[in-house]
Amino acid sequence: MMKQWKQVVLSVIMILCAGAAYGGDFLPTKVYMFGFAASFNDSTVYFTDVQQLEGAWVYEKERSFLVNRDEYSYQLRNFLKQMGLEAPTCVTVYAFDEKEIYKKYLKMRQRYEGKKRKFDLLVRNVPAEVFAYKVVEPGVGRVIIDPKLAEAAADKTDRATAKAQRKAEKKARKAEKKAQKK
């Protein structure tokens, strides 16, 4: 009886904690953002246009903190991979004020287009008509990558599994031969 009581109490606590994690702790708001991408294999950097995103989620207690902010960078990375860029490193910069985001945007553009650079970089613009951020809901997992990349990852896993299986079979044959010699 006591054991069942403990299980009930623990279940209630778990449900309350889960509700606190996802229940009403987020507020939708307007956010301005732009993306930056670079690759160590290339001398080209990419900037998206500054975009206004209605309904992006922030934490209720810390309203300056964007929920799932890494997912926005994954959106840009997946787009650039589909365009043929290998291994882009992407950053999404956001602000809640339009003036503030343009200040950040110009400062970052000047860093890569200015005259004080040691080497030449090709700066490309990704217009909002070509790539637009989409709102990421709280509690949502990773943005789905394109099917070709998922298939390649699955194929790599299959090859590794087959290799491990061949290695185990070879080891078993070797042990069998050793046992026959004795």
CA 41 vs CA 44, 86, 87, 89, 172: distances in Å: 9, 8, 8, 11, 43
Query: Across residues 51-65, what is the average pLDDT?
Result: 84
Check whether 179 has a pLDDT greater than 90.
Answer: no
Residues 28 and 97 in one domain: yes
Question: What is the largest distance, in Å, between two alpha-carbon atoms of the chain?
Answer: 82
Residues 47 and 108 in one domain: yes
Q: Tell me whether residue 153 is in a domain.
A: yes
Residues 161 and 84 in one domain: no
Q: Which of 18-22, 24-28, 47-51, 97-101 has the lowest mean pLDDT?
A: 18-22
Residues 121 and 31 in one domain: yes
Q: Which of 61-65, 82-86, 96-100, 172-176 has the lowest mean pLDDT?
A: 61-65
Check whether 21 has a pLDDT greater than 50.
Answer: no
Q: Tell me whether residue 14 is in a domain.
A: no
Check whether 18 has a pLDDT greater than 50.
Answer: no
Q: Range of 160's domain?
A: 146-182
Query: In one letter, which amino acid is 20?
Result: A
Phi-psi region of 55 (alpha: psi -120 to 50; beta: other; left: phi over 0): left
Residues 101 and 31 in one domain: yes
Q: Say what the pLDDT of residue 145 is.
A: 46
Structural domains counted in the chain: 2
Tokens 């110009």 correspond to 106
Q: Say what the pLDDT of residue 43 is.
A: 86
Residues 54 and 71 in one domain: yes
Q: Tell me whether residue 4 is in a domain.
A: no
Q: Tell me whether residue 16 is in a domain.
A: no
From CA 71, how far away is CA 63, in angstroms rounded?
18
Residues 134 and 150 in one domain: no
Residues 110 and 128 in one domain: yes
pLDDT class of 68 with cuts at 50, 70, 90: confident
Top mean pLDDT of 74-78, 145-149, 166-170 is at 74-78
Check whether 90 has a pLDDT greater than 70.
Answer: yes
Q: Tell me whether residue 102 is in a domain.
A: yes
Residues 108 and 161 in one domain: no
- Residue 111 has, within 13 A of its CA and on its CB side, a CA count of 10
Q: Please give the structure tokens belonging to residue 175.
A: 């042990």
